[in-house]
Structure 1
């Protein structure tokens, strides 16, 4: 049975080009992950705040190296897109930014992120999410980007609002964390916001 609409983004929209490096134009760069980022990612994953709000932990450097290999391969597979957020001049790792749950045909994706402890409170996540949103919506042609965070994570809620994501509602008991089920806030940006 044929669809009544054409895909918003056809298969190959991302894979037919190299993964870009994106600038926030104020000192941050979103760049593809490199193998040498593993020690900084491993260190970031040891942070108790990271463990409170995220679902994975890092048991070893080898495990993190495997994640980075997966993140590098995801672009070509159009599975998700993962970037390291780094300082523009020093290349110091400040965080991660991702587009996941890619539904190219529907023109939708979900933004996910984290920041290292020393980068929190500096606007890193909001600036990086803003840059990524402009690229995804304005340059690539996604129609809708969603952002989910634990409702109790007030810092993440501030990031979403600063990056232009409108709060649309609460998904009750939507994600299982180590400390139990979390309600999740759903924010979104659409083309033209």
Structure 2
């Protein structure tokens, strides 16, 4: 039987007061300017996809809105997309690969951790996505992403040596997994808006 958020502990629990007013909502076709702004906000966003203009942003939105993507927008108090959390589902295996990104100016306040925890809790719940395993990975030179993973209840499972080639240098990737029976994170969920 899965544990519940009240049964568990997490080492990286963010202060939810710093994310008041943010919500999860569907990714919309009209989000292209906000996606482009996010991808222009920091050099590390280039690893998330090839978005250098609004056409690229629209292509990414199409991918995010695909039926197997289960992606949601993280929206600021004005409703503007500032990030995305998605789960790419393998329906046969009942597993999902989790991905996330957020505009640089909205980092460092626990927003991504709350969003990822919300989406992952829903995907592992029997009445929600009914997945049996979630996975994610991040470069070893991106410890903030590891903090998001731990805050969202993921367990470090291993290291893939020299997995990515980044600017001519091989970089290791840390891999994480989360199962329904793992301790659930003690983190406030972000609210969802209706579509």
Which bin holds the TM-score, normalised by the shorter protein?
0.7 to 0.9
Whole-angstrom CA distance in 2 between matches of 1:29 and 1:47? 20
Shift of 1:137: 0.1
**Structure 1 residues 57, 172: CA separation in 2 closer, same or farther (over 3 Å shift)?**
same
Gaps of 5+ in 1: 1-24
**Structure 1 residues 106, 171: CA separation in 2 closer, same or farther (over 3 Å shift)?**
same
1:105 alignment partner, SS class = coil
Gaps of 5+ in 2: 1-18, 183-195
Segments of 4+ in structure 1 off by > 4 A?
Answer: none
Match of 2:38 among 33, 44, 53: 44
Shift of 1:36: 1.8
Per-residue CA deviation, residues 94-126 of structure 1 (Å, 9 max, x unaligned), is: 2111112x2212111111001101110011110
Shift of 1:58: 1.7
**Aligned residues of 2:48 and 2:101 also touching (Cα < 8 A):** no
Match of 1:150 among 139, 149, 157: 139
**Structure 1 residues 67, 135: CA separation in 2 closer, same or farther (over 3 Å shift)?**
same
Match of 1:185 among 174, 177, 192: 174
Shift of 1:44: 1.2
**Aligned residues of 2:64 and 2:86 also touching (Cα < 8 A):** no
Whole-angstrom CA distance in 1 between matches of 2:159 and 2:103? 26
Q: TM-score, normalised by structure 2?
A: 0.76
**Aligned residues of 1:46 and 1:57 also touching (Cα < 8 A):** no
Question: What is residue 165 of structure 2 aligned with on the other side?
Answer: 176
Per-residue CA deviation, residues 43-98 of structure 1 (Å, 9 max, x unaligned), is: 1112334336x1523221122122213322x11xx2x22221113x4212221111
**Aligned residues of 2:137 and 2:176 also touching (Cα < 8 A):** yes
1 or 2 for the larger relative contact order (CA 8 Å, sep ≥6)? 2
Question: What is residue 92 of structure 1 aligned with on the other side?
Answer: 80
Question: What is residue 120 of structure 2 aligned with on the other side?
Answer: 133
**Structure 1 residues 67, 185: CA separation in 2 closer, same or farther (over 3 Å shift)?**
same
RMSD of aligned residue pairs (Cα, Å) = 1.9
Tell me whether 1:167 sits opposite 2:167 in the alignment.
no
